[in-house]
Amino acid sequence: MDAVSQIKAEMGSDWLSALYVSRIRSQRTRAVRLEIPTRENDPQINYTLLGIELKVGRRRIACPDLATARFMRVFARFGCRDFAIPYNITKISIEADALETSWHRAFLLLDEITAGKSVQSRASVRAKLVKAIRTEIQDAGAGEAMPEFSSRASTRNAK
């Protein structure tokens, strides 16, 4: 069993892409697209006079609030350009916590599994882990740009 499969098996339902499918994609969401490199990045949250922004490399992305910036940072870390974000703003912070915890736990397990290996070997396994997460998120999809609303409610308001 390779290291990525071992980490995925040990994390089970706490695996980042499993959380994404079960907790994010299962609710009403909107799609987000970031023009960032599809590799592991080191995104930073900046506080400016104009508000909060997420900086990925030289690219700066305006965010409406800190919770959204934290949520987007998780996906920017592993270079995922398209993903879904909860439409209900009260859920974003909760989901960001869960995703960040999963991200850090995966890398703690990676450090445990690759202890004693060469730097090149550790970097190779890390790159495979990042690619596996990114691929699974891409396979799950980002959904629609805007969520669909109940047609029953809209016909009730039309009367």
**pLDDT, tens only, 133-152:** 999 999 999 887 766 666 66
Domain membership flag for residue 112? yes
Domain membership flag for residue 157? no
| Residue 12 structure tokens | 């089970």
- Mean pLDDT estimate for the chain: 91
Q: Which residue is associated with the tokens 């995925």? A: 8
pLDDT digits (tens, 9 = 90+) for 79-138: 999 999 999 999 999 999 999 999 999 999 999 999 999 999 999 999 999 999 999 999
How many CA atoms does the CB half-sphere of 131 hold within 13 Å? 7
| C-alpha 126: how far from chain center | 17
Domain membership flag for residue 77? yes
The reported pLDDT for the residue numbered 14 is 97
Domain membership flag for residue 50? yes
Domain membership flag for residue 151? no
Domain that holds residue 70: 3-143
Counted domains in the chain: 1
Domain membership flag for residue 27? yes
What is the gyration radius of the CA atoms in the chain, in angstroms? 17
How many CA atoms does the CB half-sphere of 8 hold within 13 Å? 15
Domain membership flag for residue 150? no
Domain membership flag for residue 123? yes
The reported pLDDT for the residue numbered 44 is 97
The reported pLDDT for the residue numbered 154 is 47
Residue 158, pLDDT above cutoff 80: no
